[in-house]
Amino acid sequence: MMVAMSLKQQLHTDLTAAMKARESVATGTLRMVLAAVGVAEVAGDVAVELTDDQVLGVLQSEAKKRAEAAEVYRGAGRTELAAKELAELAVIEAYLPAALSDDELQVLVDAAVAEAAAGGATGPKAMGAVIKAVREQAGASADGAKIAALVKAALAAG
């Protein structure tokens, strides 16, 4: 009987495989990700075992850090460091769910704005409720900043 592996267990298994294959980028990246997961587990008053959704949140945070660092390095003319960050980002993205396209996200935003308007909430006051509704539908497959920007634009236009 095959039992589904948790995301954290999958990261550990892949780390072992990367170490055996002597893949330095994957090994280093997975070690950093697992360290970040460990830090998240002991943050707060009581140490807890993270759920797959919480581990996904840590992975998204780490991916965002890599993307931002690559952008900063590229802007400073440090292409070799930007390339290293992008290589790490590619390793992390293998564990993230496929991101929603802008069009798919816009459809969710438009539906949530229409639903809020039907409930009597319009303009900037509806922003929090609309963002919450879109995040519930999109889950981990959409960036919060992108959702906020699309919601703000949709509410301003409406």
Dist. CA 149–CA 133, nearest whole Å: 15
Mean model confidence pLDDT for the chain: 86
pLDDT in tens, 9-32: 999 999 999 999 999 999 999 999
- Complete domains list, the chain, with CATH: 7-93 (1.10.1510.10), 102-157 (1.10.10)
> Which residue, 119, 118, 108, is CA-closest to 141?
108
Residues 37/7, Cβ–Cβ less than 8 Å: no
Q: What are phi and psi of 23, to 5 degrees?
A: -90, 100
Residue 1, pLDDT score: 43
Mean pLDDT, rounded, for 140-153: 78
pLDDT in tens, 109-133: 888 888 877 777 666 777 788 888 8
Give me the residue label for tokens 């919480």: 54
The reply to whether the predicted model has a pTM over 0.75 is no
Amino acid residing at 118 = A
